[in-house]
Structures are given as C-alpha cells and as structure tokens.
C-alpha cells in the first residue's frame, strides 16, 4: 500500500485554482522528491496531507487513512518540517524540540542529543534569537528524533549552509535505512538528485512528470558529441535527432533516447574517433518544464504574468 | 548620507501601511468626543445640574479614581471629565503601539535590515515613526478641538480639552525609549503599556487623595497626579482657568524620550536591545510538554501582571469603600449615581457591586487578549507545525479557552478577595468581607464565559475579522454597561451585554436564572467556535 496516494486533487482559494487535478504517489521506504518553483502548489499539497487544509475534490490517502478525518491518529505516525519555521520566541530551542516531540508522541532523547551535536545547534538559546537556518535546525532535530513512518519535509534546507546540507543528506539516508518514507519538497536540485528515489515535478497545481530519475531521463534528449574521420551527412534526416550543429570540428546534437541506437548505427560509417553522450541533468529536466514559463515571463510586459 | 537620509520615504511607507489605522485613530477620537459632548449637553443642560454633577464627581472616590477631577461647572468641563479616561488611554496606547510597530517590530521581522541596507540613515526609521505618530496625535487633537467647538463649546476650552493629545505625545516619547530597550516588539509594547498603567495608578492615587477647594465644587489633586502624564491632561483645567503651561510637560517628556531614544539607537546594533536576551534551559521540564503546559507557559507572564494590577486596585477600592458613607451622606445625587451603577438600596453595597462590575469588564479584556493569541499564532505560522502534531484542533482551541477562562476566574476571585479584604480591614471584619466579596465576584464569571464564547466563535467562524471584531464586541459591552444608563439607551439594547444580566451582588440578591442562561449561551458559542475551527482551513 502506498504511503501517500493522491488522485485528481483540487484546491481553490477564492478564484485561484492552487491545485488542479494533482496526482502523487509515494511508496513505502522511498525518498520522493517534490519539485516545483514557488507558488506551484507544493505547500498547499503538503498542508492538505497534514489535514490543515480541506480538499475541494479528489482522493487523498495518507498512511492508509484520511488526512482530514484521521488527522490526530496519522500525525502520531509522521513528522513535519515546515519551510518557514516560526517558533515561540520565549521558549528555548531545546524546549521547542522537546515540546514538538512530546506533542507528536515522544522522541528518542539519545537521538535528539546526537542530532543537536551533528547539526551544531545550541539548545539553550531563546527561539527569538535564532537565525532562519537555526530555526530550521530546531524543526529538523525535532522531526528526525521522532521515530515515525513518514517524514514530510517542505523545503527543509533553504536556510542551511553546505556543511549542514551534507549532514542533512546523511541523516535522511539514515532515516530511510530504518524503513521510513520521506516526501521531500525542494528546489535544491542537487539535494534531490542525491537523495531521491523518485521525483514528481509540479507545475501550476498539476504533476507534469513523475518517475525515477532514470525514467525521467528517458523522456528527455541525450546530448551527443562526436568526432569522425569523415564529415557526417544525413543526420537531420534521422528520426529523433535535433539541434545538429558543428562545434570545433566535431558535431553536437540532441537525440531522443529511443533513437540513440539508430544514431550510433548511422555514425559508425563515418569513422568515429571520439564520442561523448551526456544524459540530461535534473536541472535540464526541470527547466524543460519551466523553460516556456521563463521565456513567456521574459516577453511579458513589466508587471509580471501571474 | 546623513543619519536621517530616507526619513521622508519611510514616513510615506509608514503612512501607507497604517492608512486605515490612522484614519480610524484620527477620526475616532473626535467622533467619540462629539457624540459624548452632545449627550452630556442633553443630560446636564443647566448650570444647576452640573453643580450637582461636579459635587458628586469630585467627592466620589471612584469617580475621582477613574475620571479624574471636574475642572468647573462649565458644560465643557463635564464633557472633558466624561471623555477623558477613554480618549487619554486610547491616545496613550495607540501612540505606544504605533511607535513600536514602526521601530522595533521592523527590526524584529528583519524589515529594518532590508531598509538599512538601502540608502537609509541610522535614525531614519525612528524619525519616520515619530513623525507619523506625533502627526497623528496633533491631527486628532485638532479635529477633536473642532468637534468640541462644533458641539457648541467655547473655543479656548475646546483647544485646551483637545490637549488630551499631550498624553499621546508623552507616551510616544516613552515608547520610543522602550522600543530601544527590548529586543521584541511584544516586550517593548508590554513595557510601554506598563508605564501607561503606572501613570494611571499615579493619577488615580493623586486624585483620590485630592482635597476639595474652598468653593466646594473644584478639587485640588495631590502631588502623585503631577507625576503622571495622564494627570497632566486633567491639570490643564480646560473650561476653567486654563493653565496652558501644563502643556509643556508632555512636550518636554516627548523631547526627553526622543533624545534618549536617539542616544540609545546610536549606541546599539541593529536588532539588539539593552535588555539582553536571556538563555533558556536545554531541555523542557515535564510540565511544559502538553498543550496545557505550553498554554500556562505562554500566558503566565501576562497573567502575573494582571494579578498584580487587580490586587492593588482591589485593595485601594476596598479601602475607599469605607469613605463612601461619610462622603455621600449628605449628597443624594452622588448616592443616586452609585446606585445606578451598582443597584440596590445600601450605598456601600452598591459601591462594592459597582467595583466588581468594573473588574468584570476589565478582566473581559484579559479574556479577549489571551484568546486572540490563537489568531496571532495562526498568522505567525506557529499554529501550522503545532496542528501537524498529534494534537487535535478541539484539544488545542479547547485548551486555549480553558486557559483564558481559568485565568479570568483567578483574576475575578482575586478582585473580589482584595476588594473584600480592603473594605473588611477598614470596617474591622476582614475575613467576613473577603469571603462575601469573593463569592460575589464569582457570580460575575458567566458574563466572562460569554465573552470567551464570543471570541471563540469569531476565531472559528470569522478568523480574519476575529481580532478587530472581538475588541469591538468588548467595547460595545463596556459602553452599554458604563454609559448605557447615562445615555438613556432602551433596555433592549442594554440586554445585549452579558454584564447587564449578572446579579449585582452584594447590592442585590442572587438570582440563578440569568446565570444559567448566560452559561448556556456561552456553551453554545463555544460549541460553535470549536466546530467551525475544526472545519475550516488553517492557516486562513
């Protein structure tokens, strides 16, 4: 049974359709990357999963239950790190961690101390004096010290430095080794590439792409650069080959993955001397879905499009 | 670039942010002033009525404590006395909150950092806040003077009466300093509000200890009044022989406060305060680790402050109760005024009942303030991670309601006990009176339950309007209770307030039915609030 199963989810705020038929599935034990720019509906989806917002229509199952109706029972089995962590200004960080742990159903004190040490967080400071990164650490420590089945992380590392980012990634791996599932909303693509088993890309309230990274790569073109003894001809007539252009005596082109084999068969006739093939990066995948938005934003008159 | 660069732009920004608040502020005071002037003119049309009023007001300890002295038997002087407390405290608190909002709150939220990185001088933020707040006070004062003139009062007196804005100026100076001292806007507001409280107590003490002048109508306030900015506003003696020089006192305090604030701003880092942030424990104690424990922790500071104020006021009022008989023995008008507030036949009982009624109204503000924290936490994003834990919405809101109600109960019992103790000490039966008045105070609780019910229902059903509408409801209850009879409002209107229905013990006998009905109404409102809170989106 899936940890998270969302079908055709719709949520509107006034006249704005924040979620427009969203589908999302997270399987047990996986780290699922949830990618999309600000305002695409990531946090709204997460708030519906947490029973904070009511869905207008669609099916949502979380750990086998209804996130709105069974909120309290489900919340014992998950931990949440918000993107923008706000805390009680007059409580110390340590008190806030213990409080969140207790309200969730208890935390492991040894794990808590280990996490405090690893994230280099001083628990005696009052929450009002913490920087954004330190407030995020408080939420991360409180969540990771809880032994739960699902971790819902909404842009958890936006305030962390690279050192802490590395610690964060190690800790997430440790969680999944214990069998937990993670929904990781992020726009740090390197983090998603490093951690996630599967990725869903959201755009304007819908999932536009979902799958493992290699599956997603199969949907995008591979860049091939080839150096041959004789000039290559007939490339543009090949199916699935695009953007052919000469570069420093070599030829660079993009090819759809299913036509790679035909391309290689064609190329060997021209005495191949060197050949590199680069699969698309996550960034390229991401921009493929958002490129047109960016372009149209650029062309739009000042004042924005949204 | 000078230290003041950017002040003009920041002033416009502050005006833009506060355009609605400022409009309500600057127009609200004149409107209240005009309405009350008209109503006073209709109640006390003749000099003879006003002599009676002044004699009562200047002999009654309660009237002296709350309204201050009546300057003369001129119609304007009566208007000033009736409006002074409301307008002066309003000016003081609005000025305080506005100064803090545009200084310390900007630093706390990081907006000041963003602005400071632009071409903005070190003093610009503070200066812009001062320009806006001083401007709002002066404008509101000018309009108030026009309103009094419009109501047919003499010009010179109207201008002097409008000097109530002086109170706002004095507290603008105080808030400018507290905003430098505390690292949080909440702390700065608390410090500045505490100075308003102290100023009120000083003025009340000075006026209670005041001596009647030779003519038997006027009152000469004792020296503590002169230590209080709230006292200065009354000592101008508008519509009598105006003492214009008194106006220099608030202006001097403003100048001193502003100078102090600039000096402090010069010496500290952005975001830092002079009251250093203390460290806390690395681990939570078991007592904190539940919604109830958290609620107690978050409210105990405010509750302690309220308890101190209530106890001091209760003792003072109780002790004063003993004078009521002597003071009013030969003044039927005063007796009637107290009887109107407290009800019943026995003057002392009426007085004590009226005091408990005032406490119940004031403690209503505690209930509203404590419960509205739910909305504050929701807007600040604190509620979201909290409701993502295994705490149900019923449990969370229910705990908040229980905390506010128990706090109100404790304050009400304390009010009854201290008033009883004070009066009992004066008449030689401390235990008996303490028990009696504690019981009488307890009977007011259903009215406070209704207040809690109204706020809870608003939090659930109208979250975005809950803050403004909760305070509006309490102010309506206050006006109906304190001015309803004076304004000759129909009983149907007075019945809207739960405070109308709680039995005015010890002045009248206990009646059970209204208590039961009020509790039922409160329960229905609470149920409505809890259900709607469960069913709505958060945050909204």
Kindly state whether residues A158 and A273 are assigned to the same domain. Answer: no
Q: Is the CB of B284 less than 8 angstroms away from the CB of A71?
A: no
Contacts of B290 in chain A (CB under 8 A): 102-103
Kindly state whether residues A171 and A237 are assigned to the same domain. Answer: no
Mean pLDDT, residues B305-314:
88
Predicted confidence (pLDDT) at residue B331 exceeds the cutoff of 70: no
Give the list of residues 6+ apart from residue A190 with CB closer than 8 angstroms, or none: none
The pLDDT tens digits for B221-241 are 888 899 999 999 889 999 988
Residue B539 is classified by DSSP as: -
Give Cα B370 distance to the centre of its chain.
15
Give the list of residues 6+ apart from residue A163 with CB closer than 8 angstroms, or none: none
The pLDDT tens digits for B174-229 are 999 988 888 778 778 888 888 888 898 889 888 888 888 877 678 888 888 999 99
Question: Phi and psi at residue B192, in whole multiples of 5°?
Answer: -65, -40
Does residue B56 belong to any structural domain of this protein?
yes
Cβ atoms B525, B446 nearer than 8 A = no
Q: Is the CB of B277 less than 8 angstroms away from the CB of A99?
A: no
Neighbours of B471 (CB within 10 A): 15
B314-345 in b/e form (b: 16+ CB < 10 A) is: bbbbbbbbbbbeebbeeeeebbebbbebbbbe
Q: Is the CB of B537 less than 8 angstroms away from the CB of A53?
A: yes
Nearest Cα to B352, choosing from B460, B427, B272, B291?
Answer: B427
Q: Which of B184, B388, B539 sits opposite A128 (nearest CB)?
A: B184
How far apart (Å, rounded) are the C-alpha atoms in residues B266 and B258?
A: 12
Closest chain A C-alpha to B408 CA, distance in angstroms: 23
How far apart (Å, rounded) are the C-alpha atoms in residues B499 and B408?
A: 15
Q: Which of A100, A129, A139 sits opposite B277 (nearest CB)?
A: A129
With cut-offs at 50, 70 and 90, classify the pLDDT of residue B128. Answer: very high
How far apart (Å, rounded) are the C-alpha atoms in residues B404 and B28?
A: 30
Cβ atoms A1, A154 nearer than 8 A = no
Q: Is the CB of A123 less than 8 angstroms away from the CB of B391?
A: no
Mean pLDDT is lowest, of A136-140, A198-202, B71-75, B487-491, for B487-491
Tell me, yes or no, if the pTM score tops 0.90.
no
Mean pLDDT is lowest, of A248-262, B61-75, B359-373, for B61-75
Q: 3-state secondary structure string, B137-198?
A: HHHHHHHHHHHHHHCCCCHHHHHHHHHHHHHHHHHHHHHHHHHHHCCCHHHHHHHHHHHHHH
Contacts of A68 in chain B (CB under 8 A): none
The pLDDT tens digits for B26-46 are 998 899 889 888 888 887 888
User: From A92, which residue of chain B is nearest by alpha-carbon distance?
Assistant: B280
Mean pLDDT is lowest, of A33-47, A60-74, A176-190, A218-232, for A218-232
Scan residues 16-55 of B and list those with Cβ closer than 8 Å to A. Answer: none
* pLDDT of B319: 80
Q: Is the CB of B284 less than 8 angstroms away from the CB of A85?
A: no
Does residue A285 belong to any structural domain of this protein?
no
Cβ atoms A55, A207 nearer than 8 A = no
Does residue B313 belong to any structural domain of this protein?
no
Q: Is the CB of B281 less than 8 angstroms away from the CB of A95?
A: yes
Question: Phi and psi at residue A16, in whole multiples of 5°?
Answer: -90, 125
Closest chain B C-alpha to A186 CA, distance in angstroms: 18
How far apart (Å, rounded) are the C-alpha atoms in residues B103 and B263?
A: 15
Kindly state whether residues A203 and A258 are assigned to the same domain. Answer: no
Give the list of residues 6+ apart from residue B23 with CB closer than 8 angstroms, or none: none
Interface list for chain A against chain B, based on CB atoms closer than 8 Å: 47, 50-54, 71-73, 75-76, 78, 80, 82, 84-95, 97-100, 102-105, 123-126, 128-129, 139, 152
Does residue A15 belong to any structural domain of this protein?
yes
Closest chain A C-alpha to B390 CA, distance in angstroms: 5
Residue B495 is classified by DSSP as: T
First to last CA, chain A: 38
Q: Into how many domains does chain B fold? A: 1
How far apart (Å, rounded) are the C-alpha atoms in residues B499 and B521?
A: 13
Nearest Cα to A128, choosing from B280, B371, B261, B274?
Answer: B280
Contacts of B379 in chain A (CB under 8 A): none
User: Is B537 an 8 Å CB contact of chain A?
Assistant: yes
Does residue A263 belong to any structural domain of this protein?
yes
Q: Is the CB of B537 less than 8 angstroms away from the CB of A52?
A: yes
SS3 assignment, position A2: coil
Give the list of residues 6+ apart from residue B64 with CB closer than 8 angstroms, or none: B57, B58, B204, B207, B208, B210, B219
Kindly state whether residues A45 and A79 are assigned to the same domain. Answer: yes
* Distances B53 to A205, B35, B43, B246, B328 between C-alpha atoms, Å: 69, 19, 10, 25, 13
Closest chain B C-alpha to A111 CA, distance in angstroms: 14
Kindly state whether residues A76 and A189 are assigned to the same domain. Answer: yes
Give me Rg for the CA atoms of chain A.
23
Does residue B534 belong to any structural domain of this protein?
no
User: From A48, which residue of chain B is nearest by alpha-carbon distance?
Assistant: B537
Does residue B94 belong to any structural domain of this protein?
yes
Question: What are A34's strand-pairing partners?
Answer: A185, A200
Bond from prior residue into A234 cis (ω within 30 degrees of 0): no
How far apart (Å, rounded) are the C-alpha atoms in residues A296 and A195?
A: 32
How far apart (Å, rounded) are the C-alpha atoms in residues A58 and A68?
A: 13
Alpha carbons within 13 angstroms on the beta-carbon side of residue A14 total 2
Q: In which domain, by residue range, is A31 found?
A: 4-216
Does residue A304 belong to any structural domain of this protein?
no
Closest chain A C-alpha to B319 CA, distance in angstroms: 38
Q: Is the CB of A75 less than 8 angstroms away from the CB of B290?
A: no
The pLDDT tens digits for B391-432 are 999 999 999 999 999 999 999 999 999 999 999 998 999 999
Question: Phi and psi at residue B418, in whole multiples of 5°?
Answer: -70, -40
Q: Mutating which of B110, B184, B282, B540 best tests the A interface, going by the most A Cβ atoms within 10 A?
A: B282
How far apart (Å, rounded) are the C-alpha atoms in residues A146 and B189?
A: 37
Contacts of A85 in chain B (CB under 8 A): 381, 385
Does residue A300 belong to any structural domain of this protein?
no
**DSSP-assigned letters across all residues of B303-362:** HHHHHHHHHHHHHHHHHHHHHHHHHHTT-HHHHHHHHHHH-SS-HHHHHHHHHHHHHHHH
Cβ atoms B95, B133 nearer than 8 A = yes
Predicted confidence (pLDDT) at residue B262 exceeds the cutoff of 50: yes
Contacts of B297 in chain A (CB under 8 A): 91
Please give the residue that has the higher pLDDT: either B327 or B450: B450
Domain-terminating residue out of A216, A232, A254: A216
Residue A306 is classified by DSSP as: -
User: From A116, which residue of chain B is nearest by alpha-carbon distance?
Assistant: B282
Kindly state whether residues A170 and A251 are assigned to the same domain. Answer: no
Kindly state whether residues A196 and A244 are assigned to the same domain. Answer: no
User: Is B290 an 8 Å CB contact of chain A?
Assistant: yes
Does residue B443 belong to any structural domain of this protein?
no
Q: Which of A85, A94, A128 sits opposite B282 (nearest CB)?
A: A94
Contacts of B291 in chain A (CB under 8 A): 103
Q: Is the CB of B283 less than 8 angstroms away from the CB of A105?
A: no
User: Is B246 an 8 Å CB contact of chain A?
Assistant: no
Does residue A120 belong to any structural domain of this protein?
yes
Q: Is the CB of B382 less than 8 angstroms away from the CB of A124?
A: no
Q: Into how many domains does chain A fold? A: 2
Q: Is the CB of A104 less than 8 angstroms away from the CB of B183?
A: no
Closest chain A C-alpha to B525 CA, distance in angstroms: 23
Neighbours of B461 (CB within 10 A): 16
Q: Is the CB of A102 less than 8 angstroms away from the CB of B290?
A: yes
The two beta strands, A4-13 and A16-26, are antiparallel
Interface pTM, i.e. ipTM: 0.84
* pLDDT of B125: 87
| Strand intervals (E) in B166-301 | 211-212, 219-220
* pLDDT of A9: 96
Question: What are A151's strand-pairing partners?
Answer: A79, A182
Predicted confidence (pLDDT) at residue B49 exceeds the cutoff of 70: yes
Q: Is the CB of B298 less than 8 angstroms away from the CB of A88?
A: yes
The two beta strands, B219-220 and A250-255, are unpaired
Contacts of A65 in chain B (CB under 8 A): none
Q: Mutating which of B293, B388, B399, B534 best tests the A interface, going by the most A Cβ atoms within 10 A?
A: B388
Does residue B95 belong to any structural domain of this protein?
yes
Closest chain B C-alpha to A1 CA, distance in angstroms: 23
Nearest Cα to A22, choosing from A57, A51, A70, A52?
Answer: A57
Contacts of A47 in chain B (CB under 8 A): 384
Kindly state whether residues A12 and A79 are assigned to the same domain. Answer: yes
Q: Mutating which of A78, A84, A103, A145 best tests the B interface, going by the most B Cβ atoms within 10 A?
A: A103
User: From B278, which residue of chain A is nearest by alpha-carbon distance?
Assistant: A126
Contacts of B537 in chain A (CB under 8 A): 52-54
Does residue B250 belong to any structural domain of this protein?
yes
The pLDDT tens digits for A74-114 are 999 999 999 899 999 889 999 999 999 999 998 999 999 99
Contacts of B392 in chain A (CB under 8 A): 71-72
Q: Which of B281, B381, B390 sits opposite A86 (nearest CB)?
A: B381
How far apart (Å, rounded) are the C-alpha atoms in residues A217 and A158?
A: 26
Does residue B505 belong to any structural domain of this protein?
no
- What are the helix and strand counts (H, E) for chain A? 10, 13
Kindly state whether residues A201 and A226 are assigned to the same domain. Answer: no
Predicted confidence (pLDDT) at residue A297 exceeds the cutoff of 70: no
SS3 assignment, position B463: helix
Kindly state whether residues A225 and A88 are assigned to the same domain. Answer: no
Q: In which domain, by residue range, is B192 found?
A: 1-275
Kindly state whether residues A176 and A112 are assigned to the same domain. Answer: yes
**Is residue A289 classed exposed, middle or buried when 0-12, 13-18 and 19+ CB atoms within 10 A define those classes?**
middle
Contacts of A11 in chain B (CB under 8 A): none
Does residue A288 belong to any structural domain of this protein?
no
DSSP H/E element including A247: strand A241-247
Give the CATH number for residue A83.
3.40.50.300
Question: What are A226's strand-pairing partners?
Answer: A251, A275
Q: Which of B282, B535, B537 sits opposite A124 (nearest CB)?
A: B282
Q: Is the CB of A53 less than 8 angstroms away from the CB of B538?
A: yes
Give the list of residues 6+ apart from residue B295 with CB closer than 8 angstroms, or none: B399, B400, B402, B403
* pLDDT of B326: 61
B462-470 contacts at long range (C-beta below 8 A, 24 or more positions apart): B463/B375, B463/B378, B463/B536, B463/B540, B464/B540, B466/B372, B466/B375, B467/B372, B467/B375, B470/B368, B470/B371, B470/B372
The pLDDT tens digits for B270-292 are 777 777 667 889 999 999 999 99
DSSP H/E element including B200: helix B185-208
Neighbours of B368 (CB within 10 A): 22
The pLDDT tens digits for B428-438 are 999 999 999 99
Does residue A303 belong to any structural domain of this protein?
no
Bond from prior residue into B539 cis (ω within 30 degrees of 0): yes
Kindly state whether residues A176 and A269 are assigned to the same domain. Answer: no
Nearest Cα to A160, choosing from A180, A181, A190?
Answer: A190
Domain-terminating residue out of A196, A216, A236: A216
Contacts of A97 in chain B (CB under 8 A): 284
Nearest Cα to B97, choosing from B123, B138, B132, B124?
Answer: B132
* pLDDT of B483: 67
Domain-terminating residue out of A216, A239, A263: A216
Nearest Cα to B457, choosing from B373, B397, B415, B369?
Answer: B397
What is the overall mean pLDDT for chain B? 88
């Amino acid at each position: 049974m899936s940890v998270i199963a969302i079908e055709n989810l719709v949520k509107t705020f006034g006249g704005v359709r924040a979620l427009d038929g969203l589908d999302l599935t997270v399987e047990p034990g996986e780290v699922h990357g949830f990618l999309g720019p600000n305002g695409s509906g990531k946090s709204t989806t997460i708030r519906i999963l947490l029973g904070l917002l009511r869905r207008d229509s669609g099916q949502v199952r979380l750990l086998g239950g209804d996130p709105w109706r069974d909120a309290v029972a489900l919340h014992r089995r998950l931990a949440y790190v918000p993107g923008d962590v706000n805390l009680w200004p007059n409580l110390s960080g340590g008190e806030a961690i213990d409080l969140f742990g207790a309200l969730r159903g208890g935390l492991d004190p040894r794990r808590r101390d280990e996490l405090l040490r690893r994230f280099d967080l001083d628990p005696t400071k009052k929450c009002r004096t913490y920087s954004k990164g330190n407030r995020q650490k408080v939420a991360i420590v409180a969540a990771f010290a809880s032994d739960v089945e699902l971790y819902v992380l909404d842009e958890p590392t936006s305030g962390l430095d690279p050192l802490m980012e590395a610690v964060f990634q190690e800790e997430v791996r440790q969680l999944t080794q214990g069998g937990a599932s993670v929904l990781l909303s992020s726009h740090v693509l390197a983090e998603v590439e490093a951690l996630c088993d599967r990725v869903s890309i959201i755009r304007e309230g819908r999932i536009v792409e979902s799958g493992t990274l290699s599956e997603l790569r199969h949907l995008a073109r591979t860049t091939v650069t080839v150096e041959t003894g004789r000039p290559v001809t007939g490339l543009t007539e090949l199916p699935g080959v695009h953007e052919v252009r000469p570069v420093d005596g070599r030829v660079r082109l993009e090819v759809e993955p299913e036509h790679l084999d035909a391309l290689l068969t064609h190329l060997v006739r021209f005495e191949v001397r060197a050949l590199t093939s680069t699969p698309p990066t996550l960034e390229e995948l991401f921009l493929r879905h958002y490129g047109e938005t960016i372009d149209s934003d650029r062309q739009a008159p000042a004042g924005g499009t949204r | 670039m000078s230290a003041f660069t950017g002040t003009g732009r920041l002033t416009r920004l502050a005006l833009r942010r506060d355009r609605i608040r400022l409009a309500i502020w600057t127009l609200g005071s004149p409107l209240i002033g005009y309405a009350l002037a008209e109503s006073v003119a209709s109640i006390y049309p003749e000099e003879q009525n006003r002599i009676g009023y002044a004699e009562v007001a200047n002999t009654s300890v309660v009237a002296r404590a709350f309204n201050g002295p009546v300057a003369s038997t001129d119609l304007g002087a009566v208007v000033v006395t009736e409006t002074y407390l409301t307008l002066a405290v309003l000016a003081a608190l609005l000025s305080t909150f506005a100064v803090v909002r545009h200084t310390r709150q900007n630093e706390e939220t990081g907006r000041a950092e963003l602005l400071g990185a632009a071409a903005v001088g070190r003093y610009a933020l503070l200066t812009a806040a001062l320009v806006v707040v001083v401007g709002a006070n002066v404008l509101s004062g000018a309009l108030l003077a026009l309103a009094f003139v419009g109501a047919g009062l003499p010009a010179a007196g109207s201008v002097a009466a409008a000097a109530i804005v002086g109170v706002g100026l004095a507290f603008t100076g105080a808030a400018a300093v507290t905003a430098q001292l505390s690292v949080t806007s909440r702390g700065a507001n608390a410090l500045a509000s505490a100075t308003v409280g102290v100023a009120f107590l000083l003025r009340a003490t000075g006026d209670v200890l005041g001596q009647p002048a030779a003519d038997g109508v006027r009152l000469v306030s004792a020296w503590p009044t002169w230590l209080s900015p709230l006292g200065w506003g009354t000592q101008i003696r508008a519509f009598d022989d105006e003492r214009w020089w008194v106006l220099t006192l608030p202006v001097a305090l403003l100048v001193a406060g502003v100078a102090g604030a600039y000096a402090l701003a010069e010496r500290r880092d952005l975001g830092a305060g002079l009251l250093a942030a203390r460290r806390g424990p690395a681990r939570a104690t078991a007592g904190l680790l539940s919604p109830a424990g958290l609620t107690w922790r978050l409210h105990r500071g405010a509750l302690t402050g309220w308890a101190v104020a209530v106890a001091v006021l209760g003792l003072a009022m109780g002790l004063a109760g003993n004078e009521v008989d002597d003071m009013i023995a030969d003044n039927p008008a005063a007796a009637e005024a107290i009887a109107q507030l407290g009800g019943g036949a026995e003057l002392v009982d009426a007085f004590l009942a009226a005091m408990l009624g005032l406490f119940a109204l004031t403690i209503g503000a505690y209930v509203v303030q404590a419960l509205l924290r739910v909305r504050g936490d929701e807007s600040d994003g604190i509620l979201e991670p909290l409701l993502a834990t295994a705490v149900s919405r019923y449990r969370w809101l229910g705990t908040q309601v229980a905390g506010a109600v128990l706090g109100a109960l404790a304050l009400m019992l304390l009010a009854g006990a201290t008033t009883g103790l004070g009066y009992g000490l004066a008449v030689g039966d401390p235990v008996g009176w303490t028990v009696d008045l504690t019981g009488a105070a307890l009977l007011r609780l259903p009215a406070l339950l209704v207040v809690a019910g109204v706020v809870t229902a608003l939090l659930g059903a109208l979250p975005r309007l809950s803050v403004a509408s909760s305070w509006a409801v309490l102010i309506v209850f206050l006006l109906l209770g304190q001015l309803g009879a004076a304004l000759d409002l129909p009983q149907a209107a007075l019945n809207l307030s739960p405070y109308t229905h709680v039995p005015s013990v010890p002045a009248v006998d206990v009646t059970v039915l209204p208590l039961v009905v009020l509790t039922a109404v409160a329960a229905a409102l609470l149920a409505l609030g809890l259900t709607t809170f469960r069913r709505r989106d958060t945050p909204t």
